[in-house]
Structure 1
Amino acid sequence: MTTLTKTEDSPAPTGPESFLSVRDLKVRFSTEDGIVKAVDGLSFDVERGKTLGIVGESGSGKSVTNLTILGLHNPRTTTIEGEIVLDGQELVTAAEKDLERLRGNKMAMIFQDPLTALSPYYTVGRQLSEPFMKHTGASKKEARDRAVQMLEKVGIPQPKTRFDDYPHQFSGGMRQRAMIAMALMCDPDLLIADEPTTALDVTVQAQILDLLKDLQQEFGSAIIFITHDLGVIANMADDLLVMYAGRAVERGSTKEVLGRPSHPYTWGLLSSMPRLDGDINEELTPIPGSPPSLLNPPTGCPFHPRCAYKDQVAGTLCTDSRPPLAPGRAAACHLTAEQKQTIFIDKIQPRLR
């Protein structure tokens, strides 16, 4: 069941050249235990040629959001409300045949684990070629030439030979490169990267990130980069969206959000990160507690059960009222601007130096 709604609780961000526009997105899953509110009123924009980073703990709704953009949920167990517009085309109400035409062609995804995303029964070359032939009508030879070209572009050695290899014959880094090649076969306008470097060692991770930036420069794709690693996102993203319990709690340019964060959850994420130039014996400050159950999320601010600063808010605002997220640079928090500034300067900024 799909309905389109707009609410004042999740105002639309502003963007001059939005290629992808998500408005008040809600995604619910029916389970034996009840309804899971996986995404709960999410709005954001992505511009052409820009990268939006989405960060948050596991279960915050990052991957669900992007699978919803691609239309990859089971319609029998999933309810989607809101609006997703890609280059003028509404996706929430689109027919499956229209989504199939767009997937791999206008939008593509690099999955976190290429070993499970790639079929073990077909060669890497075949898995690159067949979608290209389907979307473009190219011949088998044209598709093979294109696949070899893309394997070479992503740094696979001897691409003509490796075209006929199976995924298990590739190393982890090469499989990830093959996944990137597959995603870029049809020059998609939107590329979604779901923690594409999580399972890779640091050297290969750096190579993959550099590759994505180079390919974005060449193809002009918009990128959504999902990760839990703020260090990675600092070097990849133009803009940043911080998610918690299916909601956006802070957004802005990456420089603004990481340089002067305004939400207690973002403060917690940054304070729990080790610094390369810090004292090796320095004690990290983890966020207390655990993320809430999305079967029964807390009332008011979803972060209030774990927030160290809720006592500074008058009355029961944190427990009773959901803080709004204003358009543009904003944080969904009941603390006043003066309180945020004082806490940041006194307690957070010294840890980030």
Structure 2
Amino acid sequence: MTSTDSQPFLSIKDLKVHFSTEDGTVKAVDGLSFDLARGKTLGIVGESGSGKSVTNLTILGLHNPDSTKVEGSIELDGEELNGASEKTLEKLRGNKMAMIFQDALASLSPYHTIGTQIGEVYRKHTGASKAEARARAIEMLKRVGIPQPDSRVDNYPHEFSGGMRQRAMIAMALVCDPKLLIADEPTTALDVTVQAQIMDLLKDLQQEFGTSIIFITHDLGVIADIADDVLVMYGGRCVERGPKAEVLRAPQHPYTWGLLGSMPSLEGPVDVPLTPIPGSPPSLLNPPSGCRFHPRCAFADKVEGGKCAKERPSLEIMDGRGNACHLTDDQRREFLSHAVAGKAH
């Protein structure tokens, strides 16, 4: 079964990912839903421990089935992945869906050349010969901007710079022209100039291949550059979702306000102080009741009856826009200007 253009290429519905540990059950993802259209980019943003990476590792089936319980639906191009066999997932990984990991040096094998590692993926999914795989590796290295690809194909990962290793990872991910690319903070360890080059490369390759991209980051500045839509995660749940321009210019959830308030702005007054979000992300072994952000929220006491601590706010999506917060629309309009003053992007 293949989806039509009007249907989402990737559809996640009520996804729950729980890990069994000696200390109890970790509710890493707890009821997450979103869609991703063909050729579009979804930016998933949130602090460490919010469930971003777990969500996307689960899409690829990269979890330990002995200690992980996965509920909900993961539908890729009309095919259900939750409950699919390992053989089915192996055919899809690297071929129809691929992932760029955060630390390229840790993800690449130090014992094999860059060309061998890229070629191995190509051979596995196409049955190509070693010569054909080498030629394809050279082609991909050239496509991602590696200079002298004919000779650099025989280099080992430690002989590449950080930016070149990340480009090699992108080449490996794209060698079989996957239709879904998951990028897990691929620019975090790179300097600003190389970050910009990698972002431009991803956008160019997306136009060339028509790839759908999930871009995971904690940096809203990166999201502003690459994403079409934004999903904000906190404590294993989605707290806000919508088109990039709307989320960044008129955020609706206090957590998103906090993320924007902690970022410097080139457009606002230079004397606006950065405001960190107080406290720490919640333990997912024993998460707070109600809204998981309420212990850190400066506006929880504005909601009558202690509702934030008692009742989980629902996430209602209208025209692709929604937030999970008990504040009224009037309260949000009143508090927004104070929460992210001078931080609009």
Pairwise same-fold verdict (TM > 0.5):
yes
Q: Who is 1:48 aligned against?
A: 38
Q: How does 1:265-344 map to 2 (within 5 A)?
A: 265-278=255-268, 282-327=272-317, 328-344=320-336
**Whole-Å Cα distance in 2 between the matches of residues 297 and 45 of structure 1?**
26
- Is the contact between residue 263 and residue 343 of structure 2 (CA under 8 Å) also seen in structure 1? no
Q: Who is 1:9 aligned against?
A: none
Per-residue CA shift, 1:290-321, capped at 9, x if unaligned?
11100000000000000001111110210111
Per-residue CA shift, 1:231-266, capped at 9, x if unaligned?
011010000000000000000001110010000000
Letter in 2 for 1:330: G
**Whole-Å Cα distance in 2 between the matches of residues 16 and 324 of structure 1?**
26
User: CA shift at 1:16, angstroms?
Assistant: 3.9
Per-residue CA shift, 1:49-94, capped at 9, x if unaligned?
0000000000000000000000000111111011100001111110
**Whole-Å Cα distance in 2 between the matches of residues 149 and 275 of structure 1?**
40
Q: How does 1:217-296 map to 2 (within 5 A)?
A: 217-278=207-268, 282-296=272-286
> 2:183 aligned to 181, 189, 193, which one?
193
Tell whether 2:22 aligns with 1:32: yes
What residue ranges of structure 2 are gaps of 5+ in the alignment? none
- Is the contact between residue 101 and residue 107 of structure 2 (CA under 8 Å) also seen in structure 1? yes
Q: Who is 1:348 aligned against?
A: 340
User: Percent of aligned pairs with the same residue?
Assistant: 71
User: CA shift at 1:31, angstroms?
Assistant: 1.1
Number of residue pairs the alignment of both structures matches = 339
- Is the contact between residue 271 and residue 352 of structure 1 (CA under 8 Å) also seen in structure 2? no
**Whole-Å Cα distance in 2 between the matches of residues 277 and 192 of structure 1?**
31
Letter in 2 for 1:199: A
Q: Who is 2:113 aligned against?
A: 123
**Whole-Å Cα distance in 2 between the matches of residues 311 and 161 of structure 1?**
63
**Whole-Å Cα distance in 1 between the matches of residues 139 and 308 of structure 2?**
55
User: CA shift at 1:135, angstroms?
Assistant: 0.3
TM-score, normalised to structure 2, is 0.96
Letter in 2 for 1:120: P
- Is the contact between residue 248 and residue 344 of structure 2 (CA under 8 Å) also seen in structure 1? no
**Whole-Å Cα distance in 2 between the matches of residues 76 and 123 of structure 1?**
33
Tell whether 2:146 aligns with 1:162: no
- Is the contact between residue 253 and residue 329 of structure 1 (CA under 8 Å) also seen in structure 2? yes
**Whole-Å Cα distance in 1 between the matches of residues 331 and 170 of structure 2?**
44
Letter in 2 for 1:206: A
TM-score, normalised to structure 1, is 0.94
Q: CA RMSD in A?
A: 1.3
What residue ranges of structure 1 are gaps of 5+ in the alignment? 1-14
Letter in 2 for 1:71: G
Q: How does 1:58-97 map to 2 (within 5 A)?
A: 58-97=48-87
Of 319-328 and 107-116, more deviation after overlay is shown by 319-328
**Whole-Å Cα distance in 1 between the matches of residues 193 and 140 of structure 2?**
22
C-alpha spacing 1:351/1:200, structure 2 compared with 1 (3 Å): closer
Matched residue SS, 2:90: helix
User: CA shift at 1:140, angstroms?
Assistant: 1.5
- Is the contact between residue 257 and residue 339 of structure 2 (CA under 8 Å) also seen in structure 1? no
